[in-house]
Amino acid sequence: MAFALDPQVAEIFAPMAAAMADMTPPQVGDVAGRRAALEGLIAHSDTAQPAPADVTITDHHLLTADGEQILLRWYTKQGTPSEPGPAAVYFHGGGMILGHVGLFDGSIARYVSASGTPILSVDYRLAPEHPHPTPVEDAYAALVWLHEHAVELGVDPARIAVFGDSAGGGIAAAVSILARDRLGPAIALQVLVMPMLDDRNLTADPHLAPFVAWSWDDNRTGWGALLGDAIAGPDVPAHAAPARVADPAGLPPAYIEVGQLDIFRDEDLTYALRLSQAGVPVEFHLHPGVPHEFDGIAFTTDVAQRVMADRIRVLSSL
């Protein structure tokens, strides 16, 4: 039996698919074209749902080791208890090449409002202007910053998670490896939502090809921007592509989810299995009938409501 979109998702995607049918996708390596096309779609998805009125947003700035300043945006629910509690550091999606924290204000505020867990969103620098290791080093520096400012922000440093979707999920996984290898700040949980983990995933799967929202050309463009000529070669470090980790033992517990029609399906399944085999506690969800980042557009569907309930449950449990 062939794959098919979830019927509710298919109904919502149909007008968008029809509108895009005659459009020519950007060529491999066209970062500017992808930014122009996808950042508008992300902005539309983020504002399609109402922003909660009970979340306060405060901006901070981090001076990086190479002398640049990056934005850290802190989201808290009003009326949160004063005693130290959990928090998450969030890294946005965008294939390593696009996006910024402002495009995700609504999404992050909704997570915070529903879970009560504050979130620090990181405006890490993007490839190709800032190739590896800059994005993951920015992300790691933000984790260190939150640990250093935990007391003043009312955070228990033993209850800090890393959280990301797509490229941000890959960065969250990479930060977890970096923190382990450097004996750095503790991470209570890595929340990896359809994470982008493996630079070697460059060959189209004909079973998935009719459904992809992030294609193999997109993937080659994103990884190529991050890694340059090293992409898919023997020398890519796990701090860039977490699927390359030689030994996952000692990494933080993980929550991992992916759609069955997502090109990241196999690398995410494999990563969950490898973590489990190394003794790392894992909660894994494979959602049938849905492609990459479906929940931002088809947020009214039953499957989107289920995935959001799981993410909120996990954030609340910290």
| Residues labelled catalytic | 166, 262, 292
- Check: CB of residue 92 under 8 Å from CB of residue 168: yes
Coil, strand or helix at 316: helix
C-alpha 169/C-alpha 136 separation (Å) is 11
Strand ranges inside 113-253, DSSP E = 119-122, 155-165, 189-193
Residue 156 carries which side chain, given as an amino acid letter?
D
C-alpha 153/C-alpha 222 separation (Å) is 34
Q: Is 66 exposed, middle or buried (0-12, 13-18, 19+ CB in 10 A)?
A: exposed
Name every residue whose Cβ is closer than 8 Å to that of residue 158 and which is 6 or more positions away in sequence. 186, 188
Radius of gyration of the chain (CA): 18
Residue 44: how many CB atoms within 10 A of its CB?
11
